[in-house]
Structure 1
Amino acid sequence: MSTMDKAKNAAEKAKGKVKEYAGQAKGDKRMETEGKGDQAKGGVKQAGEKMKDAAKDTTGH
């Protein structure tokens, strides 16, 4: 996984965490749920990148 991809995925997860906490503070369930979704999206992307890296390590490419 490239450093840029790692940074983007981490930023997306962090943005989701901030949005989740802001939603909790404001009592806005929709914002809170969107934040959790953003975190999940970043995690899925990160997992996909790790799978690509593992495949490259296995095949040597």
Structure 2
Amino acid sequence: MGELVDKIKGKVNELVGEAKEALGDHNDDARLKAEGQVQQVKGKGEQIKGSVKGALGDNI
């Protein structure tokens, strides 16, 4: 179950990060754009964590 939760949280973070990056780019807000990029990386990490849990089992 933890695998699915991590993957969903990761995808949500990626999508929110993409939106922040686009909004920051549109409004010439470098801070918001950078925040969005960081959030996307965090989301990708959560998805990888979910994949590892799926491969090794949720009890890690």
Structure 1 gaps, min length 5? 57-61
Secondary structure at the aligned position of 1:30 is classed as helix
Q: TM-score, normalised on structure 1?
A: 0.80
Which segments of structure 1 move beyond 3 Å, counting only runs of 4 or more?
A: none
Structure 2 match to 1:59: none
Identity %: 31
Count of aligned pairs = 55
Structure 2's unaligned 5+ residue stretches are: none
TM-score w.r.t. length of structure 2: 0.81
Structure with bigger RCO (C-alpha 8 Å, 6+ apart): 2
